[in-house]
């Protein structure tokens, strides 16, 4: 049961169903329910699939808008995530979530 802190913008995307893939640094957490927290707000979503790999492998042309809804290209989505995770180039996990 992953407990994931998010920025307000990301929390709103998740709540509105615009964002259905959450990418985090590291190996997958155990559990099939993700708890997202932003300030006093909480959201519980079911994890329907997990993928692991490098950031550029997980963010693709067929899914980048489900990762970062405001991105215009996969490169923009990767740049947004690089702003959060810096130069880390290890394993990332993509959590596909559903309400």
The count of C-alpha atoms lying within 13 angstroms of the C-alpha of 5, restricted to the half-sphere facing its C-beta, is 3
Residue 15 near residue 43 (C-beta atoms within 8 A): yes
Q: In angstroms, rounded to a whole number, what is the distance separating the alpha carbons of residues 44 and 12? A: 13
Stated pTM of the model: 0.93
For domain 3-98, which CATH number applies: 2.60.120.10, 3.30.465.10, 2.30.130.30, 1.10.150.390? 2.30.130.30
What's the confidence (pLDDT) of residue 2?
Answer: 82
Delimit the domains of the chain by residue range.
3-98
What's the confidence (pLDDT) of residue 73?
Answer: 97
Per-residue pLDDT of the chain in tens (99 residues, 90 and over written 9): 689 999 999 999 999 999 999 999 999 999 999 999 999 999 999 999 999 999 999 999 999 999 999 999 999 999 999 999 998 989 999 999 997
What's the confidence (pLDDT) of residue 99?
Answer: 77
């Amino acid at each position: 049961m992953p407990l994931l802190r998010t920025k307000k913008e990301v929390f709103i995307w998740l709540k509105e169903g615009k964002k259905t893939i959450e990418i985090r640094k590291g190996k997958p957490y155990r559990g099939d329910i993700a708890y997202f927290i932003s300030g006093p707000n909480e959201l519980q979503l079911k994890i329907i699939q997990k993928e692991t790999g490098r950031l550029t492998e997980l963010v693709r042309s067929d899914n980048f808008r489900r990762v970062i809804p405001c991105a215009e290209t996969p490169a923009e989505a990767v740049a947004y995530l690089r702003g959060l995770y810096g130069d880390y180039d290890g394993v990332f996990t993509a959590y596909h979530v559903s309400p």
